[in-house]
Structure 1
Amino acid sequence: MNPLSVSSSSTRGPAEHEIRDQIVAAANEHFSQYGYSKTTVSDLAKAIGFSKAYIYKFFDSKQAIGEAICSNCLSQIIAAVEEAINAVGISPTERFRRLVKSLITKGVDLFFNDRKLYDIAAFSASERWPSSQVYDMRIKHFVLQIVREGRELGEFERKTPLDETVESIHLALRPYINPLLLQHNLDVVEEAPGLISSLILRSLMP
């Protein structure tokens, strides 16, 4: 699976993917035990068995390692959403319902059944890391595609400016996109997809 695209400046040195993957995997395990914020690159170097200087050949900073982990995690959500909404022969209305459901269910599954991923994803969201911002932009683009298709087919209203409609929907979905906010809505994740979808779709009716 290809990770979300973030700046290549987060890596440096030889493009030895196996070693980079080894560092990322070991860092992921270390973060899960001690937390991202409490771990230093020196801690990682000692745990992995590499020198600190050697790690810096592949990553500029601890954040760059966290970005790699976060990007892989968020890419899994994007892949689940794409699979759900790109089914052949479904209407824009159904695509939107699938978008919301897959966003919430996959996010909950990743972030809260695997707390080590949540810790890094939450830090990414709070610090507005590139991986988090790219993820947010991808979700907004999905909304744009669905709304535009719905307008072209006459399923959705066309009076409201397209950018205003997309931005409003994106804001309405934010509590279930941002892991910092999602943690406060876990008690409603079963009914949330259906209720949110129905409310937004009613507002889109022509």
Structure 2
Amino acid sequence: MNKTSSPKVTARGPVDHEVRDQIVAAATEHFSRYGYEKTTVSDLAKAIGFSKAYIYKFFESKQAIGEMICSNCLRQIEAEIRAAVDEVERPPEKLRRMFKALVESGLRLFFQDRKLYEIAASAATERWPAARAYEGRIRELIQDILQQGRQTGDFERKTPLDEATMAILLVMRPYLNPLLLQHGLDYTDEAPLLLSSLILRSLSP
């Protein structure tokens, strides 16, 4: 169910990072075992050993906890993508590596931890701030690679930079968005090579 506003992931009560981290770690394990949608804050409180009221001192809702878990998960995927990009020098290869890492990390989340995948899918469906911020950072990375490619002469310069960036993001979105990933599983072997090759041909000067 869509919400008109997303809850904050900041603590409602005194800032106590150790307790908040403990709640997030326990919630991650609990959601991984039983699923995000089927778990209530009361279930979580019982599993952790805290009272429901105590959890609400640090998070204003279950979604706020899910936001934190989702943010941690997406940050890990982003780190893997950036590491793959940083392994090579030339912008065209950076773009290829980015697409390949994006697909591989998404598949790992989908197949290895389906319960956490459910949280990421909820985040994408309801456009949680964590999901929007992740997509924004991926867009910035694409733009950085395009700028480098234009400076090195590998990419054309006629298309407005923001237009080219958005077009590439839209091509990547089926593998960037956890909700859409499940509909493209039959093509994950070919997609990174075919789509990145198509993108690079369109960027050729």
TM over 0.5: yes
Task: Tell me what 1:18 maps to.
Answer: 18
2:74 counterpart residue number: 74
Cα deviation code 1:44-79 (max 9, x no counterpart): 112211111100111111111001110110011110
- Please give the secondary structure, in 2, of the residue aligned with 1:14: coil
Aligned equivalents of 2:182, 2:203: Cα separation in 1: 28
Give the corresponding residue for 1:113: 112
RMSD: 1.7
The Cα offsets for residues 150-177 of structure 1, whole Å up to 9 and x where unpaired, read as 1111111111111111111111110010
Tell me what 1:43 maps to.
Answer: 43
Write the distance in 1 (CA, Å) between the matches of 2:83 and 2:135.
18
Letter in 2 for 1:86: D
Q: Could you tell which deviates more after superposition, 65-74 or 184-193?
A: 184-193
The amino acid across from 2:112 in the alignment is N
- 2:4 aligned partner: none
Residues 1:168 and 2:155 aligned together: no
1:103 is matched by which residue type in structure 2? Answer: L
SS of 2:183's partner is: helix
AA in 2 matched with 1:193: P
User: Aligned partners of 1:174, 1:39: CA distance in 2, in Å?
Assistant: 29
Distance 1:55 1:70 in 2: 18
Change (3 A) 1:66 1:97: same
Distance 2:44 2:99 in 1: 37
Please name the residue that 1:188 is paired with: 187
Query: Where do 1:1-206 residues align within 5 Å?
Result: 10-87=10-87, 90-206=89-205
Deviation at 1:9, TM superposition (A): 5.2
**Residue type at the aligned position of 1:73:** C
What is the CA–CA distance in structure 1 between the aligned matches of 2:36 and 2:86, rounded to whole Å?
A: 35
CA separation in 2, counterparts of 1:10 and 1:70?
14
Identity %: 63
CA contact (8 A) 1:70 1:131 kept: yes
Deviations 1:72-101 (A, max 9, x none): 10011110111111236x110011011101
User: Whole-Å Cα distance in 1 between the matches of residues 36 and 113 of structure 2?
Assistant: 14
Contact 1:24 1:68 in 2 (8 A): yes
In the alignment, the residues of structure 2 paired with residue 112 and residue 127 of structure 1 have an alpha-carbon distance, to the nearest angstrom, of 22
Contact residue 59 and residue 65 of structure 2 kept, 8 A: yes
Task: Kindly tell me the number of residue pairs found equivalent between the two proteins.
Answer: 200
- Residue aligned with 1:184, SS: coil
Structure 1 length-normalised TM: 0.91
Question: What is the TM-score with the length of structure 2 in the denominator?
Answer: 0.92
SS of 1:173 mapped into structure 2? helix
Deviations 1:155-201 (A, max 9, x none): 11111111111111111110010001111112221221111110100
